[in-house]
Structure 1
Amino acid sequence: MTPTYGTSPLPPLETLRGRRALVTGAALAERLAAVGVDVVVTGRTEHAGDSGLYGSLAEVAERIARHGVRVGTVVADLTDPEQRTGIVPSAEELLGGPIDLLVNNAAAAIYQPLADYPLHRRHLVFEANVHVPLDLVQAVLPGMLARGEGWIVNVSSATARLRQGPPFVLVPPGTAMSVYGASTAALNRLTNGLGAELLGTGVRVNGVEPRFGVLTEGADALVGELIDTAVMESMAEMVEAILALCRCSAEVAGQAMVSLDLIDHWKVPVNGTGP
């Protein structure tokens, strides 16, 4: 779908001060803390060296705490339905109240051609990228609806878009991204449906994806040698686009926006301060 950006000006960043946020994946967490948001981050790697993944909750929490906000961590394997049922209650206890901002940023990306893509990997990708976000949305919704206010941002991917052809112009790793792209397309559809259902309640549900891609540490480890870094956008640009949707007006609902387009339409500066 083609997103509708509208022209509503964003409120100042100061309006975020004192709000409570739950973030899966850590890219946005420190930026939220820098503007005064209390933050809980969740993931399965508590300390560096606990897994082969980049970073840890302890490292992120240490950086967040420098901003003087309340910070908490919830260790959980998001793809385990039983473990993730406790994430929102734990986050609310750590922050001393219901969640105002939910950012579904964590994702599983397993790149492999479709001809031999195994079923267990498909289950894992859709569990992480579709079921986890929706379960967390359902868990935070009662508190948001009771207060008549809340912001939910689902981070998607440019791979959700259909490739035009034939002929097909596929950038590396090409069709190996198809299962991942299908899962993020499903997430976009859920975002659109949630935005429609909740319009008028004060709860804003929107999504954002990069124009092409963001070279995070994880993506670099997976496919860094295959992609053209010249077309990648910066982490700072993606973070500011997400931050804008964390304070958008109630008129913005069910959109799957493109980060650089959002920044252009809403005149969002990418300079570490914001409007």
Structure 2
Amino acid sequence: MVNLIQNVVLVAIILFFAVLEIRSGKHERFNATKDDTKLELFMFLALLAVSQPFIFGVTAKLSELAMPGQRGAWAHLPWWAMGAILLLADDMTQYWWHRISHSPLLWPLHRAHHTAHYMSIRITYRNNFFYYLMMPGLWASGVLIYLGFGDAYLVYIMVKLTVILGAHSAVPWDAPLYRTKWLHPLAWVLERTVSTPATHWAHHALTNDDGIGHYKGNFGNLLFVWDLIFGTAKITRRYPAKVGLPDDLVFGKERWFVEMFYPLIHSRRVHSALVPGGRAYAETEVDGDAMPGLRAAVSKT
């Protein structure tokens, strides 16, 4: 029941942001390929219909075996205590999961999220199929739901989904806060509390050379506070001109089914992180002949 209600709420929030993007006209500039659309659609459906129900079902069974008779045992906790526990068990662990997913070992499971050359709510759940199956926060949330956090989780996830979708939206809702001087104090608080388009777009930037991009930071999902605490925050109140991955410009984009189902399917690209032993292009030793090609590809976008 929790999963069903969450999905209904998620669809409603998505429709709200979708209307904003369509009315703004920004969706016409995405130039998304068929592979982009397939990856985003199938990953969204897989998360809602397969990954999350599977995780919540397994955690319920395992919790019953490990903690018999404890179903709903924590339901008496006040709402603020449940919220704090969820922020630690789900959002903080997701910060660390996101952060280590930028390491060579786990990058293939998260790379798909950064191959989009546009920002939009449609890329929010654009990841490898196994990325969510291994996400610690989802497993922890399943245990907490068993312990009685069902209603609290629905409220929590509604807030979190709104923030995350807003941070990816093609319509930067925080821009008016930066343009209006008397709203600057509010902007200062918000951008240090939750993820905003300005801080999250920087994480997706095509390059860090413009002083805006921050590929190795701004990992927060709901709370940006984690980036401040753990030293990965960068706040510029500006938006990168381009997003995506430089190696896609040099070698061409990966096929959607490779991005979604690696390591079950391997890439056939000349250079790829989606092969056994492969590494992200930026982490390889690029020779003098290849580097000018990369710089030229980036500068043309």
Tell me, yes or no, whether TM beats 0.5.
Answer: no
Structure 1 length as normaliser, TM-score?
A: 0.27
Higher helix share: 2
Higher strand share: 1
Q: Which has the larger radius of gyration?
A: 2
Structure 2 length as normaliser, TM-score?
A: 0.25
